Amino acid sequence: MSRQIAKRNGVKYIIRYLFYFILLININSCKTYNIIPEKEDTPKHDFDINLSGDTPNYSEMKCWVEHPEKADHYASLPKNYTDSLYNSNSRIDVFFVHPTLYTKGNRWNADINDKKLNRQIGNAAIKNQGSVFLGIANIYAPHYRQMHIQSYYDLKNGLQAFDLAFSDVENAFMYYWKNNNKGNKFIISGHSQGTNHAERLLKEVILKNESMKNQLIISYLPGMPIIQFHEELPPCNSPNEVNCFLSWRTLAEGYLPGDWDSSDSISCVNPISWKTDTVISENKNHLGILFQNHKIHYPNSIAAYNHNGVVWIKPIKIPFANFYQMDNYHIADYNLFWINIRNNLRYRLEKNGYN
């Protein structure tokens, strides 16, 4: 009998840990931008501004996926994480631009009124990524007419779709600036397509405006190859710097997609050590992974280092993880390092007198 119980418990153990890892690899925060969608899921016509749907009105709360004044929030802390330093009255804001969730459809830009897609954005990008700032900064995250993922492969139409999406992001930021900022210091953050828009927002708007530039603390630009694009916004090179930007792309050790830009000129920080050198971070300094069940599991499970403009991670130390090894961890750029990102931001703010 005891042997049968032990066997049954062993099966439960295996199932439980396989389930946890499946939860990780099914994080639905973004599709990797080097995955070409099926033809039936892509637009069949050329870009047409008249088919782009309603222009968002950012004075209406429905046009924000996350906003301090919304009645319901997608941003929440992990269920098994306690934050004794949570600040519900922060004088710091974060403007967060979500990644691509629009992968199926016959428009080049998403419909701002697509309720199903909007819920997906909240439950994926905000809950898994934007929530890392909750209790540290006030989160402002706009809905915008994101471009279809096919835009990365069809530049003829994609560039026009990108411009339209960016126009929404810019309008959302300007609305925030004029109506909500009220002198607060702020952070810019994005992921994947959101990082592309955040970079352009910095270049074309924020860094050209002295007031905005002076109130900007730091920028998070993960998921895309970012080369320093402004002399007054260098890459961060140490764990306590501000007035700089952070960028990383996460891959399995030894893997580099053939169509990815990779070189030492691409900015890449190790999101465990927060340095840009090639030293391997120690597992003991990894603080845990945010899984799709919205719980933190497995601290000390990741060692990482920089290689040619990407972060390579050694095999994750999770039971049976070898069965589910991924090459490209783009979808988990935030999740893999969720507490490391959060704790390091607090450290940077404290060291620079923002507490």
**Residue 3 scores a pLDDT above 70:** no
pLDDT (0 to 100) of residue 324: 61
Q: Which pLDDT score is estimated for 39?
A: 59
Which residue matches tokens 């979500």?
98
Residue 37: is its pLDDT beyond 90?
no
Per-residue pLDDT at 13: 31
Q: What is the pLDDT of residues 324-344, one digit of tens each?
A: 678 999 999 999 999 999 999
Q: Higher model confidence: residue 309 or residue 41?
A: 309
At 17 the pLDDT is 34
pLDDT at 105 over 90: yes
In the predicted structure, residue 48 carries a pLDDT above the cut 70 = yes
Task: Read off the pLDDT of residues 139-174 as tens digits, 9 standing for 90 and up.
Answer: 999 999 999 999 999 999 999 999 999 999 999 999
Task: Identify the pLDDT of residue 201.
Answer: 98
Q: At 197, list the tokens.
A: 């828009």
Q: What average pLDDT does this structure show over 206-211?
A: 98
Exposure pattern of 10-38 as b/e (b: 16+ CB <10 Å)? eeeeeeebbebbebbeebebbbbbeeebe
Does residue 48 contact residue 350 with C-beta atoms inside 8 Å?
A: no
Backbone angles phi, psi at 312, to 5 degrees: -95, 130
Per-residue pLDDT band for 41 (boundaries 50, 70, 90) equals confident
Give the Cα separation of 245 and 233 in Å (integer).
7
pLDDT at 25 over 70: no
CA atoms within 13 A on the CB side of 270: 24
Q: pTM of the entire structure? A: 0.91
CA 27-31-32 angle, 5° bins: 110
When pLDDT is averaged across residues 210-233 and rounded to a whole number, the result is 97
CB neighbours (10 Å) of residue 253? 15
Mean per-residue pLDDT over the chain, rounded: 89
As a whole number, mean pLDDT of residues 10-33 equals 38
Comparing CA positions, the residue from 118, 145, 157 lying closest to residue 53 is 145
Q: What is the average pLDDT across 307-317?
A: 94
pLDDT of residue 260: 83
| Number of structural domains the chain divides into | 1
Distance CA 207, CA 219 (A): 12
For residue 264, pLDDT over 90 is answered with no
Q: Which two tokens stand for residue 76?
A: 């929440």
Q: Following DSSP, what letter does each residue of 41-56 receive, concatenated?
A: GS-SS---GGGS-PPP
Q: Domain range spanning residue 325?
A: 2-351
Whether the Cβ atoms of residue 66 and residue 122 lie closer than 8 Å to each other: yes
- % of the chain surpassing 70 pLDDT: 88
Radius of gyration of the chain (CA): 20
SS3 for 295?
Answer: coil
Calculate mean pLDDT across residues 308-317. 94
Q: Is 217 helix (H, G, I), strand (E, B) or coil?
A: strand
* Minimum mean pLDDT range among 4-18, 173-187, 287-301: 4-18
What's the rounded mean pLDDT across residues 33-51?
Answer: 74
Q: Are 33 and 192 in contact (CB under 8 A)?
A: yes
C-alpha span between 124 and 122 (Å, rounded) = 6
